[in-house]
Amino acid sequence: MNMMHNHKMGIVFGLLLGFMHFSWSILVTTGVAQTILDWIYKIHFLNNPFTVAPFNIGTAATLVVFTFIVGYVLGWLFGLLWSVLHKGQC
C-alpha cells in the first residue's frame, strides 16, 4: 500500500470543497440558488425556512477561501490518519 501524501490530500480536499462553494456562489449570482434550495428541501419532505441573500463578492470570496482551508486541513488529517493506520503494510 502506498504512503498517503498529506499535502496532496489537503490540496485535493481543499479544491473539492472550494469548487463546490464557488459553484454555489455562481448559482447565487445567477438567481438559481433559491430554486435549488427549495427543491432540495421539497424532496426531503421539508419546508424551506431559508431565503438566499443577495450576492456579495466579499462574502463569496470568504466562503470559497474558508472552505478551501477547511478542506485542506481535513484532507491533510485524512492523509495523516491513512498513513498511520497503514504503516507497516507497504
C-alpha cell at 64: 470559497
Share of the chain above pLDDT 90, in %: 84
Q: Model's pTM, two decimal places?
A: 0.85
Lowest-pLDDT choice from 3-12, 30-39, 45-54: 3-12
Predicted pLDDT of residue 87: 79
Percent of the chain with pLDDT over 70: 93
| pLDDT greater than 70 at residue 3 | no
Burial of residue 27, with CB atoms counted within 10 A of its CB: 0-12 exposed, 13-18 middle, 19 or more buried = middle
Using CA atoms, how far apart are residues 61 and 80, in angstroms rounded to an integer? Answer: 28
Predicted confidence (pLDDT) per residue in 32-45, tens digit: 999 999 999 999 99
- Cα separation, 75 vs 83, in Å, equals 12
Q: Which three cell numbers stand for residue 71?
A: 478542506
Per-domain boundaries in the chain: 6-85
